[in-house]
């Protein structure tokens, strides 16, 4: 258990990129999860490889977590910049651990703040002869102050640095001990925070980032071809798949750009292999021409977009949910497509499997809108039961080439569902041209008005019953009826969930809807949800300027949402949602 009123602790570590802030945070995360605690992390770092402000925040609790929380309880500052960035948040009752004496700043007198100076630079550079170990000195100090199990930290350090040699491991372990030793001998603990664990890890828990969950579940979904061009914050998906895809005889290709990436993924899928590409905003912009090809040729494809702050190069390491219009409407012509968004790390796992299943079922491109906050967040999720996962495979021409009841194979045969059988190149009787030109049932190019109309209708008919058949129920929680409803998408989900709980325990009658399907807009679920909010006050919080999902809802349903948008590169925290709901309800 955690000794503190709310049974949870939020620790923020800040310093310069390159100082090992992220590693220090990850080590505490691993130790906490292995000790039986729930953890949810949040990090933000600069676009530079070295330099600039890097921050890692972890929220640790006895209970499951859905968001990064509001303000921190403990701030660990490696340098003056981290101090300046967080000074205003160092309120009465918070803890400040900082590099001093001997660091590059002296903090002001902060009334009510528990201050712990730890000479991180002096110990690492002076006593250990390596500034590299500064983060481990800090880690040792934090572990000693808040009872983070040293044994778990030692194991994690050994595991992480083992490939770099015994001397690196030894130096880091020594630094850890020296940080702890310093606190034990030189400081007196005065704050009330402490992690008390029973030492037993949470059973059946996997610690994954959203990106890792997407990669792992893509394998479980049967993906055997992945092509991408590196881009922050999506690259981790490729890093993970590069390790594991070859083990299941899959192929990973790093292409020269995003256009080649999506083109080769379409090619692999045309050849009968489940294929995926992943990128971030600017990469998706480049892919839109080929998205049309996948739509026109009816080739199943999964495209992951880990959204970041745009437009253009924007703020590559910062959070935003602003690619929805692009995902829903990007490209020329009428492109049938499905747009999905996960709301948690667990969703990243299960929803990407659904993305593959839908791509196969309907032979359309499926866009999977993750985001920076979710992609790089680390969270423990319940170990998935892989045996319980149901996979869908595309409708194919039978092996003897006689899939049409004796008729010659027609790749684009007009059917009631809009879906027609695909052949594998080289299959007897299965020859066809997968062309971007408009084509007839046999795949031969056509230019007639009637033909284009017929084929366009066929392609869109596939999605006519998508919501009813594949998303019959949408996750909803809260009061029924409610005075105010919230419709949330993407990683904002977690903050909304927490805000809802706080509002309801304060007596507000509120409800929330969490659609995974964003486009085609799930109009049935949204109308049904709005019916149970007699005031028609429907709030849509999202991290973009225009209120993109709110606009799609306005365009496709009778609901006229109240927009709640932020666009500073950071995600919502629960307090922001709580405050906005109260403001709307007071009007
Ligand atoms: N001993 C030895 N090595 C250590 C160490 C220690 N005590 N502490 C950290 N390191 C290593 C880490 O293992 C890591 O090496 P790796 O990258 O080979 O794994 C490296 O030092 C950096 O440490 P880390 O803790 O991961 O990060 P950091 O907090 O220092 O921040 C980043 C650095 C992550 C912000 C920065 O490197 C980065 O990647 N920025 C983003 C760049 C980007 O994506 N730009 C956008 C381009 S469009």
Q: Is the CB of 142 under 6 A from ligand 1?
A: no
CA of 231, closest atom in ligand 1: 48
CA of 24, closest atom in ligand 1: 25
Same domain, yes or no, for 181 and 302? Answer: no
pLDDT for the residue 35: 84
pLDDT > 90: percent of the chain: 90
Same domain, yes or no, for 27 and 46? Answer: yes
Q: Pick the closest to residue 382 from 33, 30, 60 (CA basis).
A: 33
**In which residue are the tokens 């009330």 written?**
192
Distance CA 366, CA 528 (A): 25
Least confident of 191-205, 250-264, 537-551: 191-205
Q: Pick the closest to residue 32 from 194, 210, 216 (CA basis).
A: 194
Distance CA 41, CA 22 (A): 11
Taking the centre of ligand 1 as the mean of its atom positions, its distance from the CA of residue 17, in whole angstroms, is 7
Averaged over 533-539, what is the pLDDT? Answer: 97
Residue 20, in any domain of the structure: yes
Same domain, yes or no, for 74 and 215? Answer: no
**Cβ count near 429 (within 10 Å):** 15
Q: Is the CB of 136 under 6 A from ligand 1?
A: yes
Residue 27, in any domain of the structure: yes
Residue 197, in any domain of the structure: no
Taking the centre of ligand 1 as the mean of its atom positions, its distance from the CA of residue 182, in whole angstroms, is 26
Tens digits of per-residue pLDDT, 422-462?
999 999 999 999 999 999 999 999 999 999 999 999 999 99
Q: Is the CB of 18 under 6 A from ligand 1?
A: yes
The DSSP-derived string for 452-478 is HHHHHHHHHHTTTTHHHHH-SS-EEEE
**Biggest alpha carbon distance in the chain?**
87
CA of 233, closest atom in ligand 1: 44
Least confident of 45-49, 152-156, 365-369, 476-480: 45-49
Q: Is the CB of 26 under 6 A from ligand 1?
A: no
Is pLDDT at 275 greater than 80 in this prediction? yes
Distance CA 2, CA 62 (A): 7
CATH code for the domain in which residue 57 is found: 3.40.920.10
In sign, the C-alpha dihedral spanning 537, 542, 545, 547 is negative
Q: Quick one: pLDDT band at residue 214, thresholds 50, 70, 90? A: very high
**Residue of 13, 23, 138 to test ligand 1 pocket, by largest number of atoms within 8 Å of CB:** 23
Tens digits of per-residue pLDDT, 525-535?
999 999 999 99
pLDDT for the residue 402: 57
pLDDT for the residue 5: 45
Residue 200, in any domain of the structure: no
Tens digits of per-residue pLDDT, 98-125?
999 999 999 999 999 999 999 999 999 9
Averaged over 409-427, what is the pLDDT? Answer: 96
CATH code for the domain in which residue 342 is found: 3.40.50.970
Residue 69 sits at φ, ψ, to 5 deg, of: 85, -170
pLDDT for the residue 365: 98
* Pair of tokens at residue 266: 């379409």
Same domain, yes or no, for 333 and 368? Answer: yes
Q: Quick one: pLDDT band at residue 570, thresholds 50, 70, 90? A: very high
CA of 15, closest atom in ligand 1: 29
Is pLDDT at 404 greater than 60 in this prediction? no
Taking the centre of ligand 1 as the mean of its atom positions, its distance from the CA of residue 19, in whole angstroms, is 7
Percent of the chain as helix, strand, coil, to the nearest 5: 40, 20, 40
CA of 47, closest atom in ligand 1: 45
CATH code for the domain in which residue 495 is found: 3.40.50.920
Least confident of 90-94, 124-128, 396-400, 572-576: 396-400
Taking the centre of ligand 1 as the mean of its atom positions, its distance from the CA of residue 560, in whole angstroms, is 45
Q: Quick one: pLDDT band at residue 401, thresholds 50, 70, 90? A: low
Strands 53-61 and 38-44: antiparallel
Query: DSSP 3-state assignment of 413?
Result: coil
Averaged over 345-354, what is the pLDDT? Answer: 97
Residue 475 sits at φ, ψ, to 5 deg, of: -60, 125
Taking the centre of ligand 1 as the mean of its atom positions, its distance from the CA of residue 491, in whole angstroms, is 24
CB-hemisphere CA count at 13 Å for 454? Answer: 13
Residue 262, in any domain of the structure: yes
Same domain, yes or no, for 84 and 140? Answer: yes
Residue 457, in any domain of the structure: yes
CA distances from 207 to 211, 287, 293, 369, 518 (A): 12, 32, 37, 21, 27
Mean residue pLDDT of the chain comes to: 95
Q: Pick the closest to residue 176 from 60, 13, 24, 32 (CA basis).
A: 24
Residue 521 sits at φ, ψ, to 5 deg, of: -60, 130
Task: Give the domain extent around 555.
Answer: 473-586
Distance CA 105, CA 100 (A): 8
Between 345 and 405, the more confident residue is 345
Q: Is the CB of 14 under 6 A from ligand 1?
A: no
Tens digits of per-residue pLDDT, 26-50?
999 989 888 888 899 999 988 888 8
Taking the centre of ligand 1 as the mean of its atom positions, its distance from the CA of residue 22, in whole angstroms, is 7
For the whole model, what pTM was predicted?
0.94
Averaged over 563-571, what is the pLDDT? Answer: 97
Whether 495 and 67 have beta carbons less than 8 Å apart is answered as yes
Same domain, yes or no, for 436 and 503? Answer: no
Same domain, yes or no, for 326 and 238? Answer: yes
Whether 372 and 378 have beta carbons less than 8 Å apart is answered as no
Least confident of 54-58, 59-63, 498-502: 59-63
Distance CA 118, CA 99 (A): 5
Q: Is the CB of 172 under 6 A from ligand 1?
A: yes
Between 439 and 8, the more confident residue is 439
* Pair of tokens at residue 574: 């629960």
Distance CA 572, CA 565 (A): 9
pLDDT > 70: percent of the chain: 97
Q: Quick one: pLDDT band at residue 405, thresholds 50, 70, 90? A: low
Contact residues for 35 (Cβ-Cβ < 8 A; gap 6+): 148, 149, 152, 195, 197, 198, 199, 200, 201
Residue 2, in any domain of the structure: no
pLDDT for the residue 2: 55
For 127-231, list the strands marked E by DSSP.
205-209, 225-228
Of 386, 414, 445, which residue is a domain's last? 386
Taking the centre of ligand 1 as the mean of its atom positions, its distance from the CA of residue 179, in whole angstroms, is 21
Taking the centre of ligand 1 as the mean of its atom positions, its distance from the CA of residue 18, in whole angstroms, is 5
**Residue of 17, 28, 29, 120 to test ligand 1 pocket, by largest number of atoms within 8 Å of CB:** 17
Same domain, yes or no, for 235 and 338? Answer: yes
Q: Is the CB of 132 under 6 A from ligand 1?
A: yes
Averaged over 173-180, what is the pLDDT? Answer: 98
The count of domains in the chain is: 4
Distance CA 113, CA 535 (A): 44
Contact residues for 227 (Cβ-Cβ < 8 A; gap 6+): 252, 253, 254, 255, 260, 261, 262, 264, 265, 268, 275, 277
CA of 134, closest atom in ligand 1: 7
pLDDT for the residue 3: 52
- Nearest C-alpha to atom 2 of ligand 1 is from which residue? 132
CA of 313, closest atom in ligand 1: 48
Taking the centre of ligand 1 as the mean of its atom positions, its distance from the CA of residue 20, in whole angstroms, is 6
Distance CA 341, CA 487 (A): 13
Is pLDDT at 482 greater than 70 in this prediction? yes
Same domain, yes or no, for 451 and 521? Answer: no
Tens digits of per-residue pLDDT, 452-477?
999 999 999 999 999 999 999 999 99
Averaged over 474-503, what is the pLDDT? Answer: 98
Same domain, yes or no, for 407 and 376? Answer: no
Q: Is the CB of 550 under 6 A from ligand 1?
A: no
Is pLDDT at 277 greater than 50 in this prediction? yes
Q: Is the CB of 555 under 6 A from ligand 1?
A: no
Contact residues for 246 (Cβ-Cβ < 8 A; gap 6+): 252
Q: Is the CB of 169 under 6 A from ligand 1?
A: no
Of 438, 464, 490, which residue is a domain's last? 464
Distance CA 373, CA 490 (A): 9
Whether 373 and 572 have beta carbons less than 8 Å apart is answered as no
Residue 154, in any domain of the structure: yes
CA 271 to chain centre: 30
Residue 76 sits at φ, ψ, to 5 deg, of: -115, 115
Long-range CB pairs of 170-177, under 8 A, 24+ apart, other chains included: 171/128, 171/130, 171/132, 171/133, 172/133, 172/136, 173/136, 174/128, 174/133, 175/123, 175/124, 175/128, 175/133, 175/134, 175/136, 175/137, 175/140, 176/136, 176/137, 176/139, 176/140, 176/143, 176/150, 177/140
Averaged over 41-63, what is the pLDDT? Answer: 91
Same domain, yes or no, for 164 and 15? Answer: yes
Of 441, 464, 487, which residue is a domain's last? 464
């Amino acid at each position: 258990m955690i000794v503190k009123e709310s049974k949870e602790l939020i620790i923020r570590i800040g310093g310069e990129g390159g100082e090992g802030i992220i590693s220090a945070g990850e080590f505490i995360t691993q130790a906490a999860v292995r000790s039986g605690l729930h953890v949810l992390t949040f990090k933000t770092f600069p676009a530079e490889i070295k330099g600039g402000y890097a921050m890692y925040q972890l929220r640790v609790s006895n209970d499951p977590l859905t968001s990064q929380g509001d303000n921190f309880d403990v701030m660990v500052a490696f340098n003056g910049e981290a101090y300046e960035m967080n000074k205003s948040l160092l309120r009465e009752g918070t803890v400040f651990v900082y590099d001093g004496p001997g660091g590059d700043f002296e903090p002001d007198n902060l009334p009510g703040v528990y201050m712990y100076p730890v000479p991180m630079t002096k110990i690492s550079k002076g006593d250990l002869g390596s500034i590299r170990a500064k983060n481990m000195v800090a880690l040792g100090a934090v572990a000693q102050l808040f009872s983070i199990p040293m044994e778990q930290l030692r194991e994690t350090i050994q595991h992480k640095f083992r490939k770099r040699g015994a001397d690196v491991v030894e130096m880091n372990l020594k630094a850890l001990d020296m940080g702890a030793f310093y606190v034990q001998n030189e400081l007196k603990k005065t704050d009330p925070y402490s992690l008390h664990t029973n030492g037993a890890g949470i059973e059946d828990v996997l610690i994954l980032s959203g990106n890792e969950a997407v990669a792992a579940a893509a394998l479980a979904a049967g993906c055997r071809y992945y092509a991408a061009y590196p881009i922050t914050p999506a690259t981790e998906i490729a890093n993970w798949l590069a390790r594991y895809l070859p083990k299941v005889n899959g192929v990973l290709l790093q292409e020269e750009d995003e256009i080649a990436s999506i083109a080769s993924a379409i090619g692999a899928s045309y050849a009968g292999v489940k294929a995926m590409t992943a990128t971030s905003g600017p990469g998706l912009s480049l892919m839109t021409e080929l998205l049309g090809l996948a739509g026109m040729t009816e080739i199943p494809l999964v495209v992951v977009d880990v959204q970041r702050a745009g437009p253009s190069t924007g703020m590559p390491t910062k959070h935003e949910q602003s690619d929805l219009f692009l995902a829903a409407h990007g490209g020329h012509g009428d492109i049938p497509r499905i747009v999905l968004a996960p709301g948690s790390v667990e969703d990243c796992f299960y929803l990407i499997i659904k993305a593959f299943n839908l791509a196969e079922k309907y032979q359309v491109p499926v866009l999977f809108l993750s985001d920076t906050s979710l992609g790089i967040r680390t969270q423990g999720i319940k170990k998935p039961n892989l045996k319980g996962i149901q996979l869908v495979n595309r409708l194919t021409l039978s092996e003897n080439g006689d899939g049409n009841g004796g008729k010659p194979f027609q790749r684009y045969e007009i059917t009631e569902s809009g879906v027609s059988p695909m052949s594998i190149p080289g299959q007897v009787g299965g020859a066809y041209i997968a062309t971007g030109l408009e084509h007839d049932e046999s795949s031969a190019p056509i230019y007639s008005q009637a033909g284009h109309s017929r084929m366009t209708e066929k392609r869109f008919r596939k999605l006519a019953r998508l919501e009813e058949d594949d998303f019959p129920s949408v996750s909803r929680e809260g009061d029924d009826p409610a005075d105010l409803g919230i419709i949330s998408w993407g990683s904002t989900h977690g903050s909304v969930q927490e805000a809802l709980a706080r509002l309801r325990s304060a007596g507000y009658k509120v409800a929330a809807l969490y659609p995974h399907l964003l486009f085609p807009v799930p109009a049935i679920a949204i109308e049904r949800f709005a019916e149970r909010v007699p005031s028609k006050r429907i709030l849509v919080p999202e991290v973009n300027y225009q209120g993109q999902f709110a606009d799609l809802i306005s365009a496709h349903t009778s609901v006229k949402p109240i927009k709640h948008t932020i666009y500073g590169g950071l995600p919502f925290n629960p307090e922001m949602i709580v405050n906005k709901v109260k403001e709307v309800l007071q009007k």
